[in-house]
Chains A and B, each alone.
Chain A
């Protein structure tokens, strides 16, 4: 068993990064995730593991530092919050186009624009549908606890290198700021040996030069590159769908929610069950790939689905695509940094589907 500590989500993420053998972190301060860089700095990572920490001049510079280091095969990451993640989108598109592995944490806050520093889930579209220019996808993990803020760092790096693709952890201000018990995994060695067949570490006599680029001016070749990327995303859909199902086996009504909203819905399920209503919760852990197949299978035996989100209703579009119109899908949402209570969510379920207690 690893160390058990009481930590903030952002701190658990930072500690997990050091323990996962991360080679470098490049970031820029923004609320509500500044604890990530502060925590790493306080740990003196260059002494602890040799990890590089650099505060960049902007989010734009930080993601491009990630690009450079990732192109040399290093295990590298950045973190930010919504407005900062918008600034990183060009770099993320380049990372995806050049097929570079890295980990990006978004501790979401409300938007649009400067919005608010309070929690939100309104970057779902941006995270799961591409975000920058061009046809690409990120693997998106949605932590719902401080424990997952820790565990998904290791999982995220593994997936990033498995697919040579950027992985985004889509967290929010609640998960980033709240304190919980967390069991930390043991320190892992830094990445000293890795596949250098594609990385730019200097051309040796035994191989051709390696080039990291997303550019190809030949349309036929560039179409093939795009097809290769799409094949990779299809493989992710086949192999990497992760979700948690709570009280789902006999459920007549299903909450679908991720991250902090899933925690709220978990309690709403208990209220419903206490009142004799067969409610369950499906919590997507991967937002891309989305657990569409599971939702599609369940849709046939459900009386209603309530999507609960801290946005105007973004994830609900993927839910509706998955159910193919076979069951009513309703939305309960708050925006701008407001958060529903479990009672609100329970009441919304009762009203949406005219359920009598």
Chain B
């Protein structure tokens, strides 16, 4: 059989997501951002809501998200994406709005905007990429940097007595009455990608219900910032990040998930 005969529509098993632009991703090889970008775009494509979707890119590694996502987007000041999203959604309650933020953006400089948008029950989706580090600026300590974890500003490891504790902001926002769906996922295995995609779909579907924020944390690696190979980084993430930031649903349909149900 000639290659030309094999390359046909009925044999297609995987294609570039139609809502990803032609531009080559600028993320480091092995980084989870590209997968998260693709999954979100797949969901928007499958729901057929491109014409009604507005995304907000933050400051950090994903600042150029609008170069890769083929939807209308606004670039927000550092930490302010939930405020920008609030301004959009309040004026366009029928549109689908999402923010895409890193840990420094969402859980340090933008903590006030995060908490208050969640507490007001704004009807949009927040995608929160947590890799425990400031990737864009070269690997400094983030609000989610684990105890003892080495970064460029904690070269001897995070000493919580001096530098404070890592912040579980996802558990924190789950306590607020304005969040409707809160979950933590990862995208480092095919199974985890499928689970995240289901949650991402829910984050957009929920916006039709007008019941509050859908908040999804994606625990991700930062192999460049962690100074590991992609494979080492994923292993390190499973062994060190997951015990502190365990994947799973935290709040579903406005109800906190009980611990026993969470163990799956």
Evaluate contact between B72 and A211: CB separation under 8 angstroms: yes
Residue of B nearest to A94 (CB): B77
Q: B residues 43-92 with Cβ under 8 Å of A?
A: 50-54, 56-57, 63-64, 66, 70-77, 80, 83-88, 90-92
> A57 an interface residue at 8 Å Cβ cutoff?
yes
Counting chain A CB atoms within 10 Å of each CB, the highest count among B51, B57, B91, B112 belongs to B91
With A52-B90, A213-B66 already in contact, the answer to whether A201 and B85 are too (CB < 8 A) is no
> B116 an interface residue at 8 Å Cβ cutoff?
yes
A274 CB contacts on chain B under 8 angstroms: none
Evaluate contact between A202 and B75: CB separation under 8 angstroms: no
Q: Which residue from A56, A201, A203, A205 sits with its C-beta under 8 Å from B83?
A: A56
Q: Which residue from A56, A62, A90, A210 sits with its C-beta under 8 Å from B77?
A: A90
**Interface 0/1 of B101-128, CB less than 8 Å to A:** 0000000000011011000000000000
Residue of A nearest to B97 (CB): A68
Evaluate contact between A200 and B73: CB separation under 8 angstroms: yes
> B185 an interface residue at 8 Å Cβ cutoff?
no
> A58 an interface residue at 8 Å Cβ cutoff?
yes
CA A98 – CA B80 in complex, angstroms? 15
Q: B residues 219-245 with Cβ under 8 Å of A?
A: none
B251 CB contacts on chain A under 8 angstroms: none
B112 CB contacts on chain A under 8 angstroms: 57-58, 60-61
Chain B contact surface mostly: helix
Counting chain A CB atoms within 10 Å of each CB, the highest count among B53, B70, B72, B95 belongs to B72
A129 to chain B, nearest CB (A): 21
Evaluate contact between B83 and A200: CB separation under 8 angstroms: no
With A64-B80, A68-B88 already in contact, the answer to whether A213 and B116 are too (CB < 8 A) is no
CA A209 – CA B22 in complex, angstroms? 13
Evaluate contact between A202 and B54: CB separation under 8 angstroms: yes
> A23 an interface residue at 8 Å Cβ cutoff?
yes
**Interface 0/1 of A180-222, CB less than 8 Å to B:** 0000000000000000000011111100011111110000000
Residue of A nearest to B50 (CB): A203
B54 CB contacts on chain A under 8 angstroms: 72, 200-202
A157 to chain B, nearest CB (A): 15
A47 to chain B, nearest CB (A): 16
> A71 an interface residue at 8 Å Cβ cutoff?
yes
Evaluate contact between B87 and A64: CB separation under 8 angstroms: yes
Evaluate contact between A23 and B71: CB separation under 8 angstroms: no
B53 CB contacts on chain A under 8 angstroms: 202-203
B26 to chain A, nearest CB (A): 10
Evaluate contact between B91 and A64: CB separation under 8 angstroms: no
A255 to chain B, nearest CB (A): 41
Q: A residues 13-71 with Cβ under 8 Å of B?
A: 23-24, 26, 52, 54, 56-58, 60-62, 64-71
CA A67 – CA B76 in complex, angstroms? 8
CA A54 – CA B87 in complex, angstroms? 9
B85 CB contacts on chain A under 8 angstroms: 68
Evaluate contact between B91 and A200: CB separation under 8 angstroms: no
Residue of B nearest to A100 (CB): B74
Evaluate contact between A69 and B88: CB separation under 8 angstroms: yes
CA A269 – CA B117 in complex, angstroms? 53
Evaluate contact between B90 and A69: CB separation under 8 angstroms: yes
Q: A residues 59-104 with Cβ under 8 Å of B?
A: 60-62, 64-72, 74, 76, 90-91, 94, 98
Q: Which residue from A58, A66, A94, A201 sits with its C-beta under 8 Å from B95?
A: A201
Residue of B nearest to A52 (CB): B90
B43 to chain A, nearest CB (A): 15
B77 CB contacts on chain A under 8 angstroms: 64, 67, 90-91, 94
Q: Which residue from B66, B71, B75, B90 sits with its C-beta under 8 Å from A65?
A: B90
Evaluate contact between A209 and B87: CB separation under 8 angstroms: no
Evaluate contact between B92 and A201: CB separation under 8 angstroms: yes
With A57-B113, A209-B72 already in contact, the answer to whether A68 and B84 are too (CB < 8 A) is yes
With A65-B84, A68-B86, A201-B92 already in contact, the answer to whether A213 and B74 are too (CB < 8 A) is yes
Evaluate contact between B95 and A68: CB separation under 8 angstroms: no
Evaluate contact between A203 and B70: CB separation under 8 angstroms: yes
CA A70 – CA B70 in complex, angstroms? 21
Evaluate contact between A52 and B51: CB separation under 8 angstroms: no
Q: Which residue from B51, B76, B80, B115 sits with its C-beta under 8 Å from A203?
A: B51
Task: Contacts A64-B77, A67-B80 known; list 15 others, CB within 8 Å.
Answer: A56-B116, A57-B113, A57-B116, A60-B112, A61-B113, A61-B116, A62-B83, A64-B84, A69-B90, A76-B91, A90-B77, A94-B77, A201-B92, A201-B95, A203-B71
Task: Mark A residues whose CB is within 8 Å of B.
Answer: 23-24, 26, 52, 54, 56-58, 60-62, 64-72, 74, 76, 90-91, 94, 98, 200-205, 209-215
Interface CB pairs A-B, < 8 A, 27 = A52-B91, A56-B83, A60-B83, A61-B83, A64-B113, A65-B83, A65-B90, A67-B76, A67-B83, A67-B87, A68-B85, A68-B86, A69-B87, A71-B87, A71-B88, A200-B74, A201-B95, A202-B95, A209-B71, A210-B73, A211-B66, A211-B73, A212-B73, A212-B75, A213-B57, A213-B73, A213-B74
Q: Give 9 closest A-B pairs by Cβ, nearest first.
A: A68-B87, A65-B87, A68-B84, A64-B83, A213-B75, A200-B72, A69-B87, A64-B80, A57-B116
Task: Mark B residues whose CB is within 8 Å of A.
Answer: 50-54, 56-57, 63-64, 66, 70-77, 80, 83-88, 90-92, 95, 112-113, 115-116
